[in-house]
Amino acid sequence: MIARTALIAGVAAALAASTAHAQDGSGGVVAPAPAPATPAETAGGGGVQLSVLPSGTAGQPVVVHGTAPHRAAGHQVKLQLQNPATLRWKKVTGARVAQDGTFTERWKPAKAGQYALRGVLHGASAPLAVTVYQSALATWYGPGMWGNQTACGETLTPDLEGVAHKSLPCGTPVTLSYEGRTITVPVIDRGPYGVPGAQYDLTQAAAFTLGMLETETIGALPQPVAAASR
């Protein structure tokens, strides 16, 4: 990967060697406002209304909130997961409707991927789309390297959104999630190498869009690509 340079002296002195931060006015780089958080997914039908955040993390519960008519109190709402291969639905958990008509379902996905969920009471609701990410340690880079070529042949600029990875083919789209915000960017470089255990190195523009200003744990999900450049 293109060689790193130090961040401004005042910031670098205050940080551990393994952590990268945005520069302040004395160095010229100030993080813009991040993209807004992705709103919750909602779906209705079959006597229920469902709401869920559109992203989750493998191994952590995905919480689905719902409402049903008060007369359904005490009845079970089944949460079903669709098999992407067969398109069949299978129950993964269930919850009883409370006296006030509310219920909460919790489903723990075992691995990353894209899933469809629905609730079943008297009938089936419309499906909810949930993207489950793999937890990954990520750094970011850019200041001092503008104009250099990345390992995938891109010219690094302050506005270039992309990510470095040690083995994913160049051009592979990777969806990244952090604090409710998501972006999909291509692999444009190789790395990271400076922080032990880090799996992704975001360009400055990608990091700022997510609102990530230092080394953080994010969600990552590589997407299928028809043909990789290299």
pLDDT at 157 over 80: yes
pLDDT higher than threshold 50 for residue 14 = no
For the stretch 132-155, pLDDT in tens is: 999 999 999 999 999 999 999 999
Whether the predicted pLDDT of 60 surpasses 90: yes
Q: Give residue for tokens 């104009």.
A: 147
Residue 93, strand partner residues: 79
Interval 22-58: pLDDT, tens:
333 333 456 778 888 889 999 999 999 999 999 999 9
Tokens linked to 209: 């869009």
SS3 call for 205: helix
pLDDT (0 to 100) of residue 1: 53
Quote the pTM value.
0.81
Long-range Cβ contacts of 171-175 (<8 Å, 24+ apart): 171/225, 171/228, 171/229, 172/222, 172/223, 172/225, 172/228, 173/222, 173/223, 173/225, 174/200, 174/220, 174/221, 174/222, 174/223, 175/131, 175/133, 175/220, 175/221, 175/222, 175/223
Q: Which residue has the tokens 């008060």?
A: 70
Q: Are 172 and 228 in contact (CB under 8 A)?
A: yes
Give the pLDDT confidence score for residue 30 in this predicted structure. Answer: 64
Q: How many CB atoms lie within 10 A of CB 214?
A: 15
pLDDT at 228 over 60: no
Mean of pLDDT values over 163-178: 97
Reduced to 3 states (helix: H, G, I; strand: E, B; else coil), residue 186 is strand
Higher pLDDT, 71 or 22: 71
Residue 24 has what pLDDT? Answer: 37
The reported pLDDT for the residue numbered 13 is 31
pLDDT at 214 over 60: yes
What domains are defined for the chain?
A: 9-35+134-222 (2.40.40.10), 41-132 (2.60.40.10)
Among residues 111, 132, 221, 114, the alpha carbon closest in space to that of 173 is found at 221
State residue 91's pLDDT score: 97
Q: Is the pLDDT of residue 75 over 60?
A: yes
